[in-house]
Amino acid sequence: MFAIRYSAVLILIVAAAVGFFVYKTQASDSRFAFKLGLDLSGGTHLVYNADTSKLPAVQVQDSMAALQSVIERRVNAFGVGEPLVQTEQGGALGGGGYRLIVELPGVTDVNQAIKMIGQTPLLEFKLVKKGSESNTTLADGSLNPAAFEDTGLTGKYLSSAALQFGTGGSGLQTTPTVLLTFNSEGARLFANLTDKNVGRQLAIFLDGKILSAPTIQEKIDNGGALVSGNFTPQEAKDLATNLNLGALPVPITLASTESIGATLGDQAAQAGVVAGVIGFLVLAAFMVLWYRLPGVVSVVSLTIYVALMLALFKVVPVVLTSAGIAGFILSVGLAVDANILIAERMKEELHAGRKTQEAIREGFARAWLAIRDSNVAHIIASVILFWLGTSIIKGFALVFGLGVIISMLSAITISRTFLLALGLDAAKPLGRFLMRSGIRL
């Protein structure tokens, strides 16, 4: 009994420390402040369709991952706090097209947000098709894009871009050009491409337009390429800057936009907190009035559970959305459900004539199977929702899944320890006091 009571005291001390941590890190400038999603903090939500039709199936996932990385770099360059950039595939089983989701908290100017994303150029290298060498020039003297074919070498293999000035006819360096440096994989692809296609034209496309189409003279294995296209110095500088921020490996088109004001987000956050507090108080009152001592223990356990969840949100950190708060409130309900099952099983054992300590142990043992099955089912559901859902559904699923796991541990471990530590014996002072007070099992 001493070891159980020592464990109960230790749990209370740890819970107090966790609660103090949650309280002291409330300030918005704290390292562990809550991370609020777009619907609670206000900002802009952008959805882009990604065109993967020209990519081999085996390259689609890697290209989408590269696209996400590029957009993240570009958004971060503008100093947006806590941006969320993710990709998803449409359709119930992921059989639809690919989309890019961009959430920019604090950016309520949709046009500004679109400008942040849309200025990133798409860089491609294409070879002239065999048999089309005589059709590379149109009637107006411009190059014919249809005469070239994809090589697989795109901006996703780019390591850096730098402005430099080429040598003009007078011998002076006056022509602005952009020097491209590929990463190791890009350098290998470029070397292989130039080695096998000496004498053929290699066109450089930027956002679908041909900048230049030089003829490959020899193998280039230094991992670099020169882009020229009648640029002004400022245009060449802007191109180098944009390419350094990331050339898109996949073309994207804007599908939808949504702007959420900070006031509306604040109202949603307050409504979620109020709903959670009211729900918790109602549940606490029910548990105490109906189950007396086990109800009090359940409320203490639930309070510790809430503190643990809030600390987890801060430390992981979990980005909280309205859907996530709903998932958290629902997980509190499941935690109460587990405590109700335990209390009812204990009452049955007491009515059967078992002693208090024995009834507590047996009640937990009998309730465990139902609690286990219920929580496993909910965890499976949350995993499926997180796997197949959109960003909003994923927020709900993540918080709900974490809540179910923590609530199960709370009900089985914390509640059990407290009840065993407070196991009533009418022959002892504590037992007599509780019995007279009407707080009984």
How far apart CA 345 and CA 206 sit, in angstroms, is 70
CB 65: neighbour CB atoms within 10 A? 13
Give the ranges where 250-390 is alpha helix by DSSP (H): 262-291, 293-315, 322-351, 356-388
CATH 1.20.1640.10 fits 2-37+261-436, yes or no: yes
**pLDDT computed for residue 120 by the predictor:** 56
- Residue 61 CB contacts under 8 Å (≥ 6 apart), including other chains: none
Cα 292 to the chain's mean position, in Å?
Answer: 42
* Amino acid code (one letter) for 274: V
Among 394, 329, 407, which Cα is nearest to 101's? 394
**Assign residue 246 a region: left if phi > 0, alpha if psi is -120 to 50, beta otherwise?**
left
1: how many CB neighbours lie within 10 A of its CB?
10
Helices 57-77 & 110-118 angle (0-180, nearest 10): 120
Q: How many CB atoms lie within 10 A of CB 217?
A: 9
> Strand (E) positions, 168-285?
173-182, 202-206, 209-212, 224-227, 252-260
Closest Cα to residue 269, out of 322, 334, 206? Answer: 322
Q: Alpha carbon of 209 to those of 29, 137, 145, 259: distances in Å?
A: 46, 14, 8, 32
In this structure, which topology does domain 123-247 adopt according to CATH? Gyrase A; domain 2 (3.30.1360)
For residue 189, the Cα-to-chain-centroid distance in whole angstroms is: 33
Dihedral angle sign, alpha carbons of residues 125, 130, 134, 138:
negative
Alpha carbon distance 297, 363 (integer Å) = 15
Across the 441 residues of the chain, what is the mean pLDDT of every consecutive 10-residue run?
76 88 79 76 83 82 82 69 76 68 76 68 83 79 83 84 69 72 90 89 80 83 78 78 69 82 68 81 84 81 88 82 82 80 80 76 83 88 83 81 84 78 52 41 44
Amino acid identity for residue 160 in this structure: S
**Secondary element (H or E) of residue 38:** helix 38-41
β 148-154/202-206 pair status: unpaired
- The span from the CA of 371 to the CA of 377, in Å, is 10
Identify the bridge partners of residue 179 per DSSP, sorted by sequence position. Answer: 162, 226
- Per-position b or e across 220-249, b if 16+ CB within 10 A of its CB: beebebebebebeeeebebbbebbbbbbbb
Q: How far apart are CA 173 and CA 204, in angstroms?
A: 22
CA neighbor of 16 nearest in space, from 410, 303, 281, 265:
303
Structure tokens at 338: 């587990």
- Using alpha carbons only, give the angle 277, 103, 389 rounded to the nearest 5 degrees: 70
Count the neighbouring beta carbons within 10 Å of the beta carbon of residue 300.
18
Distances (CA, A) of 357 to 341, 342, 361: 17, 14, 6
d(CA 43, CA 429): 60
Q: Quickly count: other Cβ atoms within 10 Å of residue 218's Cβ.
A: 9
**CA-CA-CA-CA torsion sign (24, 29, 35, 41):** positive
Distance between CA atoms of 254 and 99, rounded to whole angstroms? Answer: 10
* CATH number for domain 43-114+253-259, candidates 1.25.40, 3.30.70, 3.90.930, 3.30.160: 3.30.70
Q: How far apart are CA 152 and CA 398, in angstroms?
A: 37
| Beta-bridge mates of residue 128 | 148
Report phi then psi at 154, rounded to 5. -135, -175
Domain segments of the chain: what residues?
Answer: 2-37+261-436, 43-114+253-259, 123-247
